Amino acid sequence: MFSTKLNLAEKIYSAFNSSFPGCEVGKDDIMSLLTSPPDKAMGDLAMPCFKFAKSLRTSPVNISNTLASALQDIEGIKVESVNGYLNVFIDRNDFFKKTAEKILTQKKDYGKTETGKGKTIVLDYSSPNVAKPFHVGHLGTTVIGHSLKKLFTFAGYNCIGVNHLGDWGTQFGKLIVAYKKWGDEKKVEEGGIDELVALYVKFHEEAEKDPALADQARAHFAALERKEPEETALWEKFIDISIKEYKKTYEQLDIEFDYYTGESFYSDKMPAVIEDMKAKNLLTLNEGASVVELEEYGMPPCLILKTDGATLYPTRDISAALYRKNTFDFHKCIYVTSAAQSLHFAQWFRVMALMGYDWYEDLVHVPYGTVSINGEKLATRTGNVVLLKDLFATATEKAADIMAEKNPALAGNKETAEAVGIGAVIFYYLSANKIRDINFVMQDALNFDGNTGPYAQYTYARTCSIASKAEEMGIKPTLSGDVCEDEFVLIKTLSVFPDMIADAIREYEPSIITRYILDICADFNRFYHNCQILSAEDDETKKRRLALTLCTKYTLASALELICMKHPEKI
């Protein structure tokens, strides 16, 4: 029985292999070519066969004729060959019934698979620097990373989320000096990260007048590296304050990490890694620094040790990867960081390969673009930084104002306002391909009538309202009768949810789900405006359209959750 595009692609793939032994046609090739044609006379789905003619050494017409013949006995579809095109006509009533039945039975589990059963995915994302504020620049790594975690979990993988905090370096020596000279314990406890940042800024202001402060900072960091009690206690205090602050934002996003293991966690693991590199003759001296030469791979040297013997980011990342492989035996370890770090990851991934670790190909860097606010780039040194908590607060406040105007009954509902406001920010960010630079405009993000988060949440709320009214009226869903064009278009869109999840995972691209959500919303709202649902002319139609509404409700809820968005039932 034909149920999804992926299912059909697998059948076409089997037909290729049985009809053309030894062919090099892949499932991905078929999936990309199998689309909805502009003219319904050409079928509900169609696939041109011209791309395969050269490799199969036969005409497109012969290919489409052969495949059509091999696909004749599939229940629920009719396949025709027309001038090198494979045209697929779906039995609409049969397709509707079987797809809706599946969604109504599985509900929130619709689209879940066991593809990743027995496999572990480690995801390294968010990872702010301790004692520094959580700003909008962290939004990308945080929501892309967590969405990927949700997607892989939905597909049956065991997922481990790691927050690789920036919790080591000379900046802590500076902060310790500032705290001891100008800090007030009560003010720090109450002010949290904001107070730590103020102390850090104070240190730099005073250091310009008194260069000796820099020497004191280095001395305190050296003491921290020796694990001296006073410095260690202060350092741990700064970390606790920071994580406490970060968790407030994570709670707003419904994010929980399995581990907060920052750079410092790998300090005692790096010496063995460096010795391993030396034993494998990988390290060379370059102006006093220890590096791995990568010229033959088209990259500059990968710095492993500074001239003073101090470690660098590649040393720590390599040590972390080895620890994670030994601890979790991961299928893949995914790093979600800025595209600006692409060279860094390419370098140390190559070093892993040169060290002889054949699983280096299981290390995946997922880069993303920059974010600006109203066209202005963010830069710490110029003070043009927007804190994520402030952005969320502003979005929530504006969402509350819009909701109060649209639905006075919800005025003052802070929980829903926060869900809509924060959801708007997330949806806006995840709407575009991850590698594209984002210019965040609040007015556009909160538009209830555009392709936005509030529009998607409002569509979901509409399905909930219909479901609630049906329950009050005692109407139960059934799946009989002849479906109309709008019903068929919507159920066909809902049927590809599993395919969208597979695509998003393969491409490490949450925006595939975001755009799919907009497809659902467009098709549902067209169905809603063109078709009477609970006031339909006969009971059979009324019950079938209720069933379709419920199918939309379940699918939309799962899709929104996969991109870290809440879905209130009333907006």
| CATH code at position 217 | 3.40.50.620
CATH of the domain at 74: 3.30.1360.70
Backbone angles phi, psi at 519, to 5 degrees: -65, -45
Q: What pLDDT was estimated at residue 376? A: 59
Radius of gyration of the chain (CA): 28
Q: Are residues 356 and 419 in the same domain?
A: no
CA distance 130 to 132: 5
Q: Are residues 341 and 489 in the same domain?
A: no
Q: Residues near 283 by Cβ (< 8 Å), separated by ≥ 6?
A: 274, 277, 290, 291, 292, 304, 305
Q: Please determine, for residue 387, whether its predicted confidence score (pLDDT) is greater than 70.
A: yes
Q: Per the domain annotation, does 432 fall within a domain?
A: yes
For helices 539-562 and 139-154, the axis angle rounded to 10 degrees is 130
Q: Are residues 420 and 517 in the same domain?
A: yes
Instruction: Please count the other Cβ atoms lying within 10 Å of the Cβ belonging to residue 529.
Output: 8
Here the tokens at position 355 are: 């060290």
Q: Per the domain annotation, does 44 fall within a domain?
A: yes
Q: Are residues 351 and 398 in the same domain?
A: no
Q: Are residues 422 and 484 in the same domain?
A: yes
Task: Return the closest-CA partner of residue 489 out of 32, 44, 28, 41.
Answer: 44
Q: What pLDDT was estimated at residue 294? A: 97
Q: Per the domain annotation, does 99 fall within a domain?
A: no
How many structural domains does the chain have?
3
Q: Are residues 79 and 143 in the same domain?
A: no
Residue 124 near residue 333 (C-beta atoms within 8 A): yes
Q: Are residues 433 and 538 in the same domain?
A: yes
Percent of the chain at pLDDT > 90 equals 73
Q: Per the domain annotation, does 109 fall within a domain?
A: no
Here the tokens at position 30 are: 């078929």
pLDDT confidence bin for 379, thresholds 50/70/90: very low
E-strand ranges in 410-563 read 438-440
Q: Is 97 exposed, middle or buried (0-12, 13-18, 19+ CB in 10 A)?
A: buried
pLDDT confidence bin for 344, thresholds 50/70/90: very high
CATH of the domain at 436: 1.10.730.10
Residue 427 near residue 474 (C-beta atoms within 8 A): no
Q: Tell which of 346, 372, 398 closes a domain.
A: 372
pLDDT confidence bin for 156, thresholds 50/70/90: very high
Q: Per the domain annotation, does 43 fall within a domain?
A: yes
Average pLDDT value for residue range 305-327:
92
Q: Are residues 254 and 348 in the same domain?
A: yes
Q: What pLDDT was estimated at residue 203? A: 94
Q: Are residues 195 and 336 in the same domain?
A: yes
Q: Per the domain annotation, does 190 fall within a domain?
A: yes
CA distance 360 to 538: 61
Residues in the chain: 571
Instruction: Please count the other Cβ atoms lying within 10 Å of the Cβ belonging to residue 87.
Output: 20
Q: Per the domain annotation, does 288 fall within a domain?
A: no
Q: What is the DSSP letter of 259?
A: B
Q: Three-class SS string for 415-428?
A: HHHHHHHHHHHHHH
> pLDDT tens digits for 353-375?
999 999 999 999 999 988 777 66
Q: Are residues 467 and 533 in the same domain?
A: yes
Q: Residues near 411 by Cβ (< 8 Å), separated by ≥ 6?
A: 400, 403, 404
Task: Return the closest-CA partner of residue 563 out of 148, 106, 141.
Answer: 148
Q: Please determine, for residue 317, whether its predicted confidence score (pLDDT) is greater than 80.
A: yes
Q: Please determine, for residue 484, whether its predicted confidence score (pLDDT) is greater than 90.
A: yes
Q: Per the domain annotation, does 201 fall within a domain?
A: yes
> pLDDT tens digits for 18-66?
898 878 788 888 988 998 888 888 889 999 999 999 888 999 999 999 9
Q: What pLDDT was estimated at residue 158? A: 98
Q: Are residues 407 and 354 in the same domain?
A: no
Backbone angles phi, psi at 280, to 5 degrees: -95, 10
CA distance 419 to 438: 21
pLDDT confidence bin for 449, thresholds 50/70/90: confident
Range of the domain at 249: 120-265+317-372
Q: Is 531 exposed, middle or buried (0-12, 13-18, 19+ CB in 10 A)?
A: middle
> pLDDT tens digits for 506-545?
999 999 999 999 999 999 999 999 999 999 989 999 999 9
pLDDT confidence bin for 381, thresholds 50/70/90: very low
What is the Cβ-side half-sphere exposure of residue 86, based on CA atoms within 13 angstroms? 31
H-run or E-run covering 505: helix 497-507
Q: Are residues 47 and 128 in the same domain?
A: no
Residue 396 near residue 417 (C-beta atoms within 8 A): yes
